[in-house]
Amino acid sequence: MTSPDPRPAPLDLNLLHIVLALHEERSVSRAAERLGMSQSTLSGALAKLRASLNDPLFIRAGGEMRATDKALALLGPIQSMLATVRDDILAEGEFSPAGQTGTITVALSDAGEVVFLPRLLEAVRAEAPGLAIRSEDIPHEELEAALESARVDLAIGYFPDLARANIVQQLLMRHHDVCLLRADHPMAVGDTLTRAQFLELEHAVVRPRGRSQEIFEQHLKQQRIERKVVLTTPHFMSIPAIIARSDLVATVPHAIGLVYGRPEHGLKAVRAPFQPAPTELRQHWHRKFNKSPRTLWLRRIVAGLFNEAQDEWKEGWVAT
> Looking at residue 90, what is its pLDDT?
56
> Looking at residue 295, what is its pLDDT?
92
> Looking at residue 315, what is its pLDDT?
52
- Using pLDDT thresholds of 50, 70 and 90, give the confidence band for residue 277: confident
CB neighbours (10 Å) of residue 148?
Answer: 21
The answer, yes or no, to whether residue 69 has pLDDT greater than 80, is yes
- Percent of the chain at pLDDT > 90 equals 37
The answer, yes or no, to whether residue 63 has pLDDT greater than 50, is yes
Of 62-66, 88-92, 145-149, 255-259, which one has max mean pLDDT? 145-149
Distance CA 28, CA 34 (A): 10
Which whole number is the average pLDDT over 68-89? 76
The answer, yes or no, to whether residue 308 has pLDDT greater than 70, is yes
Catalogue all structural domains in the chain, each as residue range(s) with its CATH number: 13-77 (1.10.10.10), 92-174+279-305 (3.40.190.10), 177-271 (3.40.190.10)
Residue pLDDT, tens place only, 144-171: 999 998 999 999 998 888 888 889 999 9
> Looking at residue 318, what is its pLDDT?
40
> Cβ contacts of residue 153 below 8 Å, gap of 6+?
104, 105, 106, 285, 289, 294, 295, 298
- Using pLDDT thresholds of 50, 70 and 90, give the confidence band for residue 85: low
The reported pTM is 0.67
The pLDDT mean for the chain works out to 85
Task: Give the range among 1-15, 85-99, 162-176, 189-203 with minimum mean pLDDT.
Answer: 1-15
The answer, yes or no, to whether residue 253 has pLDDT greater than 60, is yes
Distance CA 315, CA 155 (A): 25
> Looking at residue 117, what is its pLDDT?
93
> Looking at residue 6, what is its pLDDT?
54
> Looking at residue 262, what is its pLDDT?
86
Q: Answer for the pair 182, 247: CB distance below 8 angstroms, yes or no.
A: yes
Residue pLDDT, tens place only, 22-45: 888 889 988 888 788 888 998 998
> Looking at residue 17, what is its pLDDT?
81
- In this structure, the strands spanning 177-182 and 167-175 are unpaired
SS3 147: helix
